[in-house]
Amino acid sequence: MVDAQIAHATQQIRAAQGGTSPRPVIESFFDEPTYTASHVVYDPVSREAAVIDSVLNYDAASGRTSSDSAQAILDFIKNENLTIVWQLETHAHADHLSAAPWLQEQLGGKLAIGAEIVRVQEVFGKIFNAGTRFARDGSQFDHLFKDGDSFRIGEIEAIALHVPGHTPADMAFVIGDAAFIGDTLFMPDFGTARADFPGGDARQLHRSIKRLLSLPRETRLFLCHDYKAPGRDHYAWETTIGAQRDSNLHVHDGISEDDFVAMRTKRDATLSLPNLIMPSVQINMRGGRLPEPEENGTRYIKIPLDTL
Ligand SMILES: [Fe+2]
């Protein structure tokens, strides 16, 4: 079957690598408490840029938020004189709060996520009893991407790919010859993302991963997380399609879909939920905006008991 979106992305990657279109420059930032890699990707000529998967720090014990991690991104953008055109989220993260609204306030850029966020809003809107005032139509975001949508960062062409499985709404962003693949694949020595959150699906994740793995081998891949694999003493978040196909623990060439689903399902059953899933999902499904303050001026996070 011809996958027109992958064919289009392949063309774009080859043009960037062949020198007929510009390659993006990427600066990554790692938030160790949540093991999250955020990326600033920019066109070195026009200096237009996008921020991908920024982190707002949150201390669960005290309920205190801070912008320390995002400040480093802000400082970099100001030092480099970049103009932010997009604040991109690969998905509604369950392990950290998004700093996109905080960065957007100071730098602008359209806040965007995958169009299937409405399914996440439906499922978690019920879990958090969000009520009728919470619109489940994605209107908290400035833009919703569908599979195959094109966009630009300066002169650099980009394409959004829908890669569900970890959540129903996951997107990968192929920007020039670099792909930002969110929670699908991790480093080859660590494997793949879990698929057991509400709305997740291991078989769907496998199909999404296989689509990504059909991109050119030289495609630069940037991940959303790294946890250090056993035997590795440093964090890493950049690899290639070729390295994933040769040696990804869970999905290297030769592993069947049924074997992957069996492995993933068995492994997911042993994982505890992320520490910050409750605050993260209820805030990130609203575009990272904190809940409105109550009449005493304080914002509160809800915890549903005996639900997840
Ligand atoms: Fe995630």
Neighbours of ion ligand 1 (CB under 5 A): 93, 183
Q: Say if 293 falls within a structural domain.
A: no
The answer as to whether 121 is a domain residue is yes
How many whole angstroms separate alpha carbon 246 and alpha carbon 134? 45
* Any domain includes 68: yes
In whole angstroms, give the CA distance from residue 165 to residue 151: 24
Ligand 1 centroid to residue 295 C-alpha, Å = 33
**For residue 167, how far is its CA from the centre of ligand 1 (angstroms)?**
8
DSSP element (H, E) containing 162: strand 156-162
CB neighbour burial string for 200-238, b if at least 16 within 10 angstroms, e if fewer: bbbebbbebbebbbebeeebbbbbbbbeeeeeeeeebbb
Does 199 reside within a domain? yes
Distance between Cα 224 and ligand 1 center (Å) = 8
Tell me, in angstroms, the distance from the centre of ligand 1 to residue 87's CA. 17
Q: Looking at this protein, which amino acid is placed at residue 171?
A: M
Element (H, E) at 64: strand 64-66
Which pLDDT band, with edges at 50, 70 and 90, does 203 fall under? very high
Would 291 be classed as within a structural domain?
no
pLDDT at 29: 98
Exposed / middle / buried, residue 267 (Cβ in 10 Å: 0-12, 13-18, 19+): middle
Residue 92 CA to ligand 1 centre (angstroms) = 7
Total residue count of the chain as it appears in this document: 308
pLDDT at 128 over 90: yes
128, 280 in Cβ contact below 8 A?
no
Q: Looking at residue 260, which CATH number applies to its domain? A: 3.60.15.10
Residue 308 is assigned to a structural domain of this protein? no
Residue 1 has pLDDT above 70, yes or no: no
Compute the distance from residue 154 Cα to the ligand 1 centre, in Å. 28
Name the residue among 286, 264, 273, 224 with its Cα closest to residue 92.
286
Tell me how far the alpha carbon of residue 35 lies from the centroid of ligand 1, in angstroms: 11
Within a domain: residue 297? no
Give residue 124's domain range.
4-284
Instruction: Tell whether 252 is covered by a domain.
Output: yes
pLDDT digits (tens, 9 = 90+) for 163-192: 999 999 999 999 999 999 999 999 999 999
* 96 Cα to the center of ligand 1, angstroms: 9
Interval between CA 278 and ligand 1 midpoint (Å): 13
Q: At residue 292, does pLDDT exceed 80?
A: yes
Number of domains in the chain: 1
Distance 183 CA to ligand 1 centre (A): 5
